[in-house]
Structure 1
Amino acid sequence: MSRRQKEGCIIRIRLGLFGADDSLSMIQAVAQEYKEFVCVPVVYWDESEVIDLIRPLASEVDMWLFSGQVPYSIVKQSGEVDAPLFYVPHIGASLYRTLLQAHYTAQIPVSRLSFDTYERREIERLLEEAGIEEPIPYVKHYEGGISAQELSDYHYTLWKQGKTEAAVTCLRTAHLELEKLGMPVYRVLPARSAVEAVIQTIIRTGQMLQAQDAQIAVQMIEVDAMQAASPETFSTDDIYRLEMKTTEKLLRYAKKVQGSLKSAGPGRYVIFTTRGALKEITEGYKTVPSAEETELLDGEVIACGIGIGRTAYEAEIQAGKAFLHAKQSGRGAWMVVFDDGTISGPLGKSVHLRYSLGGGELRQLAERTGLSAATLCKLKAILQKRGTNEIEAHELASYMRIVPRSARRILNQLETVGLAEVAGETNPYPRGRPRKVYRIFL
Structure 2
Amino acid sequence: MSTKIAFIGSGESLTRIQPVAANLLDIEIDPYIYQEPQEAADLVTQIKPCDVVLFAGALAYYFSKKQLESLPIPCLYLATDEMAVASSFLSILYTKHITLERISIDMIDSSVVYNVLTEFESDVPKMHVLDYQNMLESHFDLGKIVTFHKKLWDQGKIDLALTSVHAVYHRLESFGIPAMRLTDPKFSLRRCLEIARAEAELFKRKSAQVAVGYINAAVLDEQPNALIHELPSPIQRLEDGLFVFYSTRGEIEALIGQNQFYDFMNNWDEPIKMGIGYGATFIDAEQNAKAALKFSEKDADSKCWYILTEEKQLLGPFPHENRQHQLKNDHPEIVQIAKQTRLSPGNLSKMIEFSKSRKDVHFTAADLADYLKVTRRSTERILKKLADHGYVKIVGEEMTYQQGRPRAIYELNMPVYR
TM-score by length of 2: 0.64
* Deviation for aligned residue 1:42: 9.4
Q: In 2 relative to 1, CA 154–91 (structure 1 residues): closer, same or farther, beyond 3 Å?
A: closer
Counterpart position of 1:335: 306
Please tell me the residue identity of whatever aligns with 2:92.
Answer: Q
Q: In 2 relative to 1, CA 436–85 (structure 1 residues): closer, same or farther, beyond 3 Å?
A: farther
1:101 match: secondary structure: helix
**Distance in 1 between the 2:8 and 2:363 partners?**
36
Counterpart position of 2:222: 245
1:199 match: secondary structure: helix
> Could you give the per-residue CA deviations for residues 243-268 of structure 1, whole angstroms, max 9, x where no partner exists?
6414x649x62x42332322222211
**Distance in 2 between the 1:288 and 1:387 partners?**
33
Q: In 2 relative to 1, CA 351–392 (structure 1 residues): closer, same or farther, beyond 3 Å?
A: farther
Counterpart position of 2:93: 102
Q: Is 1:325 matched up with 2:292?
A: no
Counterpart position of 2:245: 271
Please tell me the residue identity of whatever aligns with 2:253.
Answer: K
**Distance in 1 between the 2:322 and 2:199 partners?**
29
**Distance in 1 between the 2:395 and 2:234 partners?**
53
Alignment of 1:165-314 (within 5 A): 167=127, 187=162, 189-191=182-184, 193=186, 194-225=188-219, 244-246=221-223, 249=225, 253=228, 255-283=229-257, 289-291=261-263, 293=264, 296=267, 298-314=268-284
Please tell me the residue identity of whatever aligns with 2:343.
Answer: L
Please tell me the residue identity of whatever aligns with 2:222.
Answer: K
Alignment of 1:107-126 (within 5 A): 108=99
**Distance in 2 between the 1:377 and 1:262 partners?**
34
**Distance in 1 between the 2:265 and 2:32 partners?**
31
* Deviation for aligned residue 1:186: 6.8
**Distance in 1 between the 2:195 and 2:57 partners?**
15
Q: In 2 relative to 1, CA 290–38 (structure 1 residues): closer, same or farther, beyond 3 Å?
A: farther
Counterpart position of 1:371: 343
> Could you give the per-residue CA deviations for residues 123-176 of structure 1, whole angstroms, max 9, x where no partner exists?
xxxxxxxxxxxxxxxxxxxxxx997489779979x9xxx9465649797779x7
1:349 match: secondary structure: coil
Please tell me the residue identity of whatever aligns with 2:303.
Answer: G
Are 1:421 and 1:438, in contact at CA under 8 Å, matched by a contact in 2? yes
1:289 match: secondary structure: helix
* Deviation for aligned residue 1:107: 5.2
> Could you give the per-residue CA deviations for residues 90-130 of structure 1, whole angstroms, max 9, x where no partner exists?
4757634432323444454x9x999x9xxxxxxxxxxxxxx
Please tell me the residue identity of whatever aligns with 1:102.
Answer: L
Structure 1 window deviating more from structure 2 (255-264 vs 415-424): it is: 255-264
Please tell me the residue identity of whatever aligns with 2:91.
Answer: L
Are 1:257 and 1:273, in contact at CA under 8 Å, matched by a contact in 2? no
* Deviation for aligned residue 1:314: 1.4
**Distance in 1 between the 2:185 and 2:287 partners?**
46
Alignment of 1:26-45 (within 5 A): 26-27=12-13, 35-36=29-30
Counterpart position of 2:168: none
Please tell me the residue identity of whatever aligns with 1:245.
Answer: E
Please tell me the residue identity of whatever aligns with 2:273.
Answer: A
**Distance in 1 between the 2:265 and 2:326 partners?**
27
* Deviation for aligned residue 1:369: 1.6
**Distance in 2 between the 1:303 and 1:334 partners?**
6
Count, aligned residues: 350
Counterpart position of 1:133: none
Note the residue ranges of structure 1 that are not aligned, 5 or more in a row.
1-7, 18-23, 45-53, 76-81, 117-144, 226-242
Counterpart position of 2:318: 347
* Deviation for aligned residue 1:438: 0.8
Q: Please give the root-mean-square deviation of Cα atoms over the aligned residues, in Å.
A: 5.1
* Deviation for aligned residue 1:400: 0.7
Are 2:393 and 2:411, in contact at CA under 8 Å, matched by a contact in 1? yes
Are 1:217 and 1:275, in contact at CA under 8 Å, matched by a contact in 2? yes
> Could you give the per-residue CA deviations for residues 268-326 of structure 1, whole angstroms, max 9, x where no partner exists?
11100111111012129xx77233x4693x34353211111111111111111111122
> Could you give the per-residue CA deviations for residues 184-215 of structure 1, whole angstroms, max 9, x where no partner exists?
58748232623354134314422431342222
**Distance in 2 between the 1:64 and 1:437 partners?**
46
1:206 match: secondary structure: helix
Q: Is 1:383 matched up with 2:374?
A: no
Are 2:85 and 2:116, in contact at CA under 8 Å, matched by a contact in 1? no
Q: In 2 relative to 1, CA 277–113 (structure 1 residues): closer, same or farther, beyond 3 Å?
A: same
Q: In 2 relative to 1, CA 204–154 (structure 1 residues): closer, same or farther, beyond 3 Å?
A: closer
Counterpart position of 1:404: 376
Note the residue ranges of structure 2 that are not aligned, 5 or more in a row.
22-27, 66-72, 135-144, 163-180
**Distance in 2 between the 1:172 and 1:40 partners?**
20
Q: In 2 relative to 1, CA 107–206 (structure 1 residues): closer, same or farther, beyond 3 Å?
A: closer
**Distance in 2 between the 1:201 and 1:150 partners?**
21
